[in-house]
Amino acid sequence: MKRSIIVGNWKMYATSIADAHILTTSIRNHVADIKDVEIILAPPTIWLSEIAQILKQSRKTRLAAQNMFYEPDGAYTGEISPLMIKEVADYVILGHSERREYFSETDLEVNEKVVAAIKAGITPIICVGEKTKGSTIGQPLKELQEALAGISKTHHKDILVAYEPIWAIGTGKNADPAYVAKVVTKLREVVSVHTPILYGGSVNSSNIASYADRPEIDGVLVGGASVRAAEFVKICKIWSETKSLQPRAKEVK
């Protein structure tokens, strides 16, 4: 069966350990019975260890870091290495547009991080997307090709891709699901059938069903709405219910 994945990117929200605790516990308790969807929480890195403890008994919810450095160790003040992330999380978001914009991350750095994540046994969630609505899909395609430079196809099952048009992130202007499906189909040519491709950009409980309706889309990356527990849980439930109404996708060989 095809995987269904929902990632909650907390960005730099949940600014106290108490808030992070309440949010995690509430999500953990309410998603336990949701079927056939993998849930990944990406809190601020400083809360990862604490949250890993809260989720210890939960087989449903996994953890992601929001970023990492590509060197395994060394004199890199302020950075966090793949080996450190691996202790507490299974996934890492890489190449998020906010990192590309505010921290000048380049395609080459994203590629170095993707290589380092795979080497460390962490699944990278590679974010790609165009800046302007209506532009060609050249930018996300190029970003994905460059992120995967030098990575053999055998590793494509070890990555996740998130198509996140920048104009849709945090703007309330979510992309048309039919358009997203078209872009996802194009991105799919670069990766393997085993690579889940998600959509991200102003996803909420009112529009989630329209993405779940598209068989091309394997999940969503949720930003702002993921730090409101009830809203995030609702997104996960609607996704699961909508997918369950569709004919079961065959096992991909």
Q: Which residues bind ligand PEP (CB under 6 A)?
A: 9, 11, 164, 169-170, 200-203, 221-225
Question: Strand ranges (DSSP E) for the chain?
Answer: 5-9, 38-42, 61-65, 91-94, 123-128, 160-163, 197-200, 219-222
CB of 82 or CB of 129, closer to ligand PEP = 129
- Tell me whether residue 243 is annotated as binding: no
- Tell me whether residue 224 is annotated as binding: yes
User: Known catalytic residue: 164?
Assistant: yes
In this structure, are residues 68 and 86 in contact, taking their beta carbons and an 8 Å threshold?
no
Given the residues 96, 109, 112, 143, the one annotated as active site: 96
Cβ-based neighbour number of residue 103 at 10 Å: 10
- Tell me whether residue 170 is annotated as binding: yes
CB of 96 or CB of 237, closer to ligand PEP = 96
The residues with which 40 forms a beta bridge, in sequence order, are 7, 62
Q: How far is the CB of 242 from ligand PEP (least distance, A)?
A: 18
Number of residue whose CB is nearest ligand PEP: 223
User: Known catalytic residue: 241?
Assistant: no
Q: How far is the CB of 150 from ligand PEP (least distance, A)?
A: 26
CB of 133 or CB of 155, closer to ligand PEP = 133
CB of 164 or CB of 218, closer to ligand PEP = 164
Residues 35 and 149: their CA atoms lie apart, in Å, by: 35
Q: How far is the CB of 169 from ligand PEP (least distance, A)?
A: 4
| Cβ-based neighbours of 203, under 8 Å, separated by 6 or more | 174, 211, 220, 221, 222, 223, 225, 235
Q: How far is the CB of 168 from ligand PEP (least distance, A)?
A: 6
Given the residues 130, 146, 164, 216, the one annotated as active site: 164
The residues with which 199 forms a beta bridge, in sequence order, are 163, 220
- Tell me whether residue 10 is annotated as binding: yes
In this structure, are residues 77 and 66 in contact, taking their beta carbons and an 8 Å threshold?
no
Q: How far is the CB of 225 from ligand PEP (least distance, A)?
A: 6
Q: Helix (H, G, I), strand (E, B), or coil: what is residue 106? A: coil
CB of 54 or CB of 208, closer to ligand PEP = 208
Distances (CA, A) of 139 to 30, 48, 202: 38, 32, 20
- Tell me the residue length of the chain: 253
- Tell me whether residue 207 is annotated as binding: no
Q: Which residues are tagged catalytic? A: 96, 164
Annotated binding site for substrate: 9-11, 170, 202, 223-224
